[in-house]
Amino acid sequence: MKKILSVGLIGAGSIARGHVRGIEANDNIALAAVMDIDRRRALALANAHNARAYEKLDDLLNDPQVDAVHVCSIHNAHAEQVIAAARAGKHVLVEKPMALSVVECDRMIAACEAAGVALMVGQVMRHFPVNLKAKAVIRDGAIGEVGHIIRRRYSNFDPPDRSWYLDLELGGVCVLYCFGPHEYDILPWYLDSPVVKVYAQGSESAQRYAGQKDSYSTIMNHQNGAVSVLTQTVVTHTGAHDTHIVGSKGSIWMTNQKLTVNGEDVFLDETSQVGMPRQIGEFADCCLDGKVPDAHGRSVRHTMAVIEAAKRSAERGEPVMVSEFDE
């Protein structure tokens, strides 16, 4: 009989529904339960997928039929929920951001390692076909040694008034902790080279983000000598999400769906829509077979250290070494 991982969702919002679709696309994982502090939301999602509903975390974690959890809750709840799940012996897939501080990330990693359970972070862009292909092109030397990367993510994110996205205590700086975890993660991932130094500047442009910066530009020095530049905003009505990667022998231009290498389009037979199912399938495989996921806790700890360094750099007005966050 095929092994199947039985999972519970913590949180029943929009990202949880994306996880459900990813679960249903795999045959090695099944949804057993849904927990949300809003019982009506938990019931609605659970009843639609033949699962049990809980409104208390302890009740979900005490369910003997739940082998693992997907943490799909508000950002500032991630750390405590992951730690509680680990102590209950449950494997954990936690949505990005891993947490709102490196200190919390360390507590999460320590709890999961002590319990002997898997800890994976939802860095879904690592599973996009275009990103996997770009990483392979770089690794195979088709553009030579990478010297510079420029990545843009521009959007107009307009959460409703009093949304937790606008609350620094609940969600962190939105442009950094809602959208940044994907962007700051993928750049060192492309290169297989960590960031060592960060210089960032932020600005407050729109009234709806009063009290927090809504746009950042960050220059990062990688261990291998490459420089990456990331510019982000959540207040522009004309969006962009693309990357230029410049090497000693050529270059790459890409979006989430399109890849051009040395001026020639590269055919991709799959789209980014396969990202979530592939991520969830990997999580199940790792839990069932004792493997380590690509986006494991210590890998994504680096991502969160770079984000925190960018925030600290903008506050200080000077470069910050990522080594400030060494354990």
Over residues 200-209, the pLDDT tens digits come to 999 999 999 9
- The packing angle between helices 78-87 and 102-115, to 10°, is 10
- The sign one gets for the Cα dihedral 79, 82, 85, 86 is negative
* Residue 327 pLDDT > 80: no
Per-residue confidence at 162, pLDDT binned at 50, 70, 90? Answer: confident
pLDDT value of residue 2: 64
Measure Cα distances from 253 to 247, 250, 269, 289 in Å: 11, 10, 18, 37
* Section 71-88 average pLDDT: 98
Task: Round to whole Å and give the CA distance between 234 and 120.
Answer: 27
**Would you say 34 and 8 are in contact if contact means Cβ atoms under 8 Å apart?**
yes
SS3 57: helix
**pTM > 0.85: yes or no:** yes
* Section 60-84 average pLDDT: 98
Structural tokens at position 216:
């950042």
* Residue 145 pLDDT > 60: yes
| Mean per-residue pLDDT of the chain | 97
* Residue 182 pLDDT > 80: yes
Domain boundaries, the chain: 5-122+277-293, 126-271+303-325
Distance from the first to the final alpha carbon of the chain: 43
Domain 5-122+277-293: CATH superfamily, name plus number? NAD(P)-binding Rossmann-like Domain (3.40.50.720)
Number of Cα atoms under 13 Å in the Cβ half of residue 82: 34
| Domain covering 126-271+303-325 in this structure, CATH number | 3.30.360.10
pLDDT one-digit tens code per residue, 151-160: 999 999 999 8
**Would you say 223 and 321 are in contact if contact means Cβ atoms under 8 Å apart?**
no
* Section 99-111 average pLDDT: 98
pLDDT value of residue 1: 53
Task: Round to whole Å and give the CA distance between 189 and 181.
Answer: 12
Q: Where is 170: in which H helix or E strand?
A: helix 168-171
* Section 57-75 average pLDDT: 98
